[in-house]
Structure 1
């Protein structure tokens, strides 16, 4: 299952490119995936990915307005990318989390 929801306003032709951008972020910077709740996921990323992750999240929130992205840093300096969705989109978030976990080595 792809995590791109049908309610996404990103043109269909651009969706594979956006998925590839997330895949590249996951492959290069992802350190951990945490699931504090069914409607939230925390991606622990290398701090060097800060600008890329924020820009990507901003664009994603622009086409899928139900996503909420919040950024912070932990004591080790890693980037924390918290993603939340309304309950109606929990399956989309789970698919995104699965894709991120699949990129972990």
Structure 2
């Protein structure tokens, strides 16, 4: 029996180079990050998602570390972390046209996990 909460359609994508055994752990890390840090999201275009984050220093560090590791196995992602105020950050996530489905899945996961908290 598979747990669809651990592997949403299209994320991680088949092109991900993270070993399959490690993918559920990475998803759990993203889920924790989404629960702890994400305050909202805007879909700026089909290719771009903006996550509004809590601005704490631990959130900034966690975002930098997690996005660096994700970029190393899914190089099509572009992540931009910006401090937008003393208590807020934004994380822009961009993908090329071929990976819009992956961004759709990531956005859906971020908001579904966030809502559960």
Q: TM-score range by the shorter chain?
A: over 0.9
**Which residue number corresponds to residue 68 of structure 2?**
58
Large movers: runs of 4+ above 3 Å: none
Which among 12, 27, 44 is matched to residue 19 of structure 1?
Answer: 27
Matched pairs, number: 105
Tell me the alpha carbon deviations over residues 53-101 of structure 1, each in whole angstroms, 9 at most, x when there is no partner: 1100000000000000011011353111000000000000000000001
TM superposition score normalised by structure 2: 0.86
TM superposition score normalised by structure 1: 0.95
**Which residue number corresponds to residue 93 of structure 1?**
103
Deviation at 1:51, TM superposition (A): 0.1
**Which residue number corresponds to residue 5 of structure 1?**
13
| C-alpha separation in 1, matches of 2:72 and 2:21 | 16
Tell me the alpha carbon deviations over residues 7-45 of structure 1, each in whole angstroms, 9 at most, x when there is no partner: 000000000000000000001111001100000101111
* SS of corresponding position for 1:10: coil
**Which residue number corresponds to residue 104 of structure 1?**
114
| C-alpha separation in 2, matches of 1:33 and 1:18 | 21
Unpaired runs of 5+ residues, structure 2, are 1-7
Give the conservation status (yes or no) of the 8 Å contact 2:55–2:86: no
Unpaired runs of 5+ residues, structure 1, are none
CA RMSD after TM alignment: 1.0
Which among 91, 94, 108 is matched to residue 84 of structure 1?
Answer: 94
Larger C-alpha radius of gyration, 1 or 2? 2
